[in-house]
């Protein structure tokens, strides 16, 4: 079964509003989680690494004030898209590795549409 | 040059065919190799995970790693329409924690 969940699965919002996406590890603790963005028919683009108890690490070109990440506990990381604009419309996916494993386990993704 | 190269396809095969999906890479430090399957509008699902060179089999799926050639493959036997998806290869080096993904190959298996 699923080991990483995401909520909501789909969200439609108006331009200028903020949207929060939650990522939870279901049966393990994750000190690190990853946030990706994926455009149609394209591969995953790593946005940031979420670290429990410390600041997230953002990839080059990703605005940290635009995409706020909070790793509130060992099982929860949140991504908030602030002042969303239509160009932020995309598929956002989180992932987490189990403590003793290298492979990442992905959430089901959140489809964001900004009108 | 990208660290990981993967032909995006699409690759179309008839049901029952053997499918070969491949990735090449340039970083000799990569030690962990994964294959993910992603259905449309879903998150990637871990299919196979191998360490260093060699083969690993799981049902109809076989993952193969050739570190000397910096080449990895995923074979799907007796392909089914339900195998139609995008397959992404991924790699991690021994020192780092970041996973590098290939572009993904779109596979269509026709009934």
Q: What is the pLDDT of residues A22-80, one digit of tens each?
A: 999 998 999 999 999 998 888 899 999 999 988 999 999 999 999 999 998 999 999 99
Separation of CA B71 from chain center: 11
Q: What would the two tokens of residue A81 be?
A: 């898209």
Tell me what the mean pLDDT of segment A14-21 comes to: 97
Nearest to A93 among B32, B43, B97 (CB): B43
pLDDT number for residue A90: 96
pLDDT number for residue B2: 78
* Contact call for A46 and B98, based on CB within 8 A: yes
- Count of other CB atoms within 10 angstroms of residue B81: 10
Q: What would the two tokens of residue B87 be?
A: 């397959």
pLDDT number for residue A1: 64
pLDDT number for residue A66: 96
Distance from CA of A83 to the nearest CA of B (A): 24
Helix (H, G, I), strand (E, B) or coil at A86: helix
Task: Please answer whether residues A26 and A2 qualify as being in contact, where contact means their C-beta atoms are separated by less than 8 angstroms.
Answer: yes
pLDDT bracket for residue B18 (50, 70, 90): very high
**Interface mutation vs chain A, best among B6, B41, B44, most A CBs within 10 Å:** B44
pLDDT bracket for residue B97 (50, 70, 90): low
Distance from CA of B17 to the nearest CA of A (A): 24
pLDDT number for residue B99: 87
| Whole-angstrom distance, CA of residue A68 vs CA of residue A64 | 6
Mean pLDDT in chain B?
93
Tell me what the mean pLDDT of segment B72-93 comes to: 96
| Whole-angstrom distance, CA of residue A19 vs CA of residue B86 | 28
Tell me what the mean pLDDT of segment A91-107 comes to: 89
Is residue A111 exposed (0-12), middle (13-18) or buried (19+ Cβ within 10 Å)? middle
CB proximity B49 to A under 8 Å? yes
pLDDT number for residue B54: 87
pLDDT bracket for residue B51 (50, 70, 90): confident
Nearest to A43 among B42, B49, B88 (CB): B88
CB proximity B32 to A under 8 Å? yes
**Interface mutation vs chain B, best among A45, A102, A104, A113, most B CBs within 10 Å:** A102
pLDDT number for residue B95: 72
Task: Please answer whether residues A90 and A37 qualify as being in contact, where contact means their C-beta atoms are separated by less than 8 angstroms.
Answer: yes
Over residues B23-50, the pLDDT tens digits come to: 999 988 899 999 999 999 899 999 999 9
CB neighbour list of residue A61: distance below 8 Å, 6 or more residues apart: none
Chain A residues whose beta carbon lies within 8 Å of the beta carbon of residue B92? 102
């Amino acid at each position: 079964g699923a080991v990483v969940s995401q909520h909501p699965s789909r969200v439609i919002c108006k331009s200028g509003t903020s949207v929060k996406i939650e990522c939870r590890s279901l049966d393990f603790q994750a000190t690190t989680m990853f946030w990706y963005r994926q455009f149609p028919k394209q591969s995953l683009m790593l946005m940031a690494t979420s670290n429990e108890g410390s600041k997230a690490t953002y990839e080059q070109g990703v605005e940290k004030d635009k995409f706020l990440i909070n790793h509130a506990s060992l099982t929860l990381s949140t991504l908030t898209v602030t002042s969303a604009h239509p160009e932020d419309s995309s598929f956002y996916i989180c992932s987490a590795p189990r403590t003793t494993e290298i492979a990442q386990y992905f959430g089901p993704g959140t489809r964001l549409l900004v009108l | 040059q990208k660290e990981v190269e993967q032909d995006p396809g699409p690759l179309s095969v008839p049901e029952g065919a053997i499918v070969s999906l491949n990735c090449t890479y340039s970083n000799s430090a990569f030690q962990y190799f994964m294959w993910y399957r992603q259905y449309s509008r879903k998150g990637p699902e871990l299919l196979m995970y191998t360490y260093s060179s060699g083969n690993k089999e799981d049902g109809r799926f076989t993952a193969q790693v050739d570190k000397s050639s910096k080449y990895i493959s995923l074979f799907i036997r007796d392909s089914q329409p339900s195998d139609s998806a995008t397959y992404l290869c991924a790699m991690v080096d021994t020192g780092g924690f970041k996973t590098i993904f290939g572009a993904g190959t779109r596979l269509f298996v026709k009934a």
